[in-house]
Amino acid sequence: MIPFNHLGWLFNRFGNAVYPRTVIEAIYGAVRPVQSGGSVLDLGAGTGIAAAHAYRYRRDLRYVAVDPAEGMLRYVPDPIETVCAGAEALPFASASFDALLLCEALHHFNDPDAAFIEIARVLKADGVLFIYEFDPSTLPGRLLSRSEKLLGEPGHFYPSEMLVNTLETHGFNITAQQTGWRYTLTASLKRSAEK
């Protein structure tokens, strides 16, 4: 396993380098429709890079960074709140968040299906899910996937179309997609507010 609890300093120093301008703008797009005072969850946040980008764009929202590695959360900038937890059992009430950012973290989850159930549970009706991931059907994505598995990581890498299908089974409609060896998906959760 990658010792994430001891690598916060490294991700804090170099993590921004893996966020190209197009991805940062897509993060802005994901939080743009959230009403002032709304809440955004950065899941598998690491050092909170995605939430920090969103905060620079929308300072009127509440941001919560969740990661199972306390050593990563130590580097999350203020005023982003931090919670140490895994994606498969989120310590939040149902319908707590207007948007959820999931950036370069899905492949680390032990049980992605359980995480998707939790994601759908904590998002509000019509909540937005933004995902930034690596595509294992591309050469760089395959190399990364193999490397992570050699390091003992779960390695749940989804080709973009497979992730689209998986999200649809969990009640999401894909509203935007950018492909490449690193891709983004923006989805909205469609359900009645009574659920």
Average predicted confidence (pLDDT) for the chain: 89
Residue 158, pLDDT > 80, answer yes
State the pTM of this model.
Answer: 0.89
What pLDDT score does 194 carry?
44
Confidence category of residue 75, pLDDT binned at 50, 70, 90: very high
Confirm whether 195 is domain-assigned.
no
What pLDDT score does 6 carry?
52
Percent of the chain with pLDDT over 90: 70
Confidence category of residue 191, pLDDT binned at 50, 70, 90: low
Q: How many domains does the chain have?
A: 1
Among the listed ranges 12-16, 47-51, 75-79, 133-137, which one has the minimum average pLDDT value? 12-16
Confirm whether 194 is domain-assigned.
no
For 9, the domain range is 4-189
What pLDDT score does 183 carry?
92
What pLDDT score does 195 carry?
42
CATH number reported for the structural domain that contains residue 13 in this entry: 3.40.50.150
Task: Report residue 126: phi and psi, to 5°.
Answer: 65, 20
- Residue pair 26/173 in contact (Cβ under 8 Å)? The answer is no
Confirm whether 83 is domain-assigned.
yes
What is the per-residue pLDDT across 95-137, written as a single tens digit (0 to 9) for each?
999 999 999 999 999 999 999 999 999 999 999 999 999 999 8
Structure tokens that stand for 49 in this block:
């890079």
